[in-house]
Amino acid sequence: MIESIRIGHRRYTVQQWSDAEMVTTDSYGQCDKQRGIIYICTHLDPMVVADTFLHEILHAIWHEYNLQDSDQEERIVHTLATGLIQVMHDNPELLTWFRKQTKGD
């Protein structure tokens, strides 16, 4: 698993999400925006892990780029696209990791 990624101006650490936390929160991951930590349940199917990781990255982009619930679709799509490009540019190992997770059998 990747240890940390840069999102916007911050570095988020990536930590394993335990079974107990998964059951308690009814989720496969979480983005702690205040502490800069992305938690991922890493022992699941690789496609689920990749999907969850991307989901939590999008939460971090939402926070770091200051999106609001009232924003319109075009602003949201534009900001998420810009945020994803930045994340991929600053973390080239992330694309390699996603390819490995999603390659299938």
For position 103, what pLDDT does the model report?
87
Spatial contact of 40 and 53, defined as CB atoms under 8 Å apart: yes
Answer whether residue 105 shows pLDDT above 70.
no
> Identity (one letter) of the amino acid at 103?
K
Q: Exposed, middle or buried: residue 79 (CB in 10 Å: 0-12, 13-18, 19+)?
A: middle
Q: How confident is the model at residue 73 (pLDDT cuts 50, 70, 90)?
A: confident
Q: Shortest CA distance to 16 belongs to which of 37, 36, 34, 42?
A: 42
Average pLDDT on 61-82 reads 92
Structure confidence by residue, pLDDT tens digits, 78-88: 999 999 999 99
Span 13-60, pLDDT tens digits: 999 999 999 999 999 999 999 999 999 999 999 999 999 999 999 999
| C-alpha to C-alpha distance for 50 and 31, rounded to whole angstroms | 14
Name the residue among 40, 36, 4 with its Cα closest to residue 21: 40
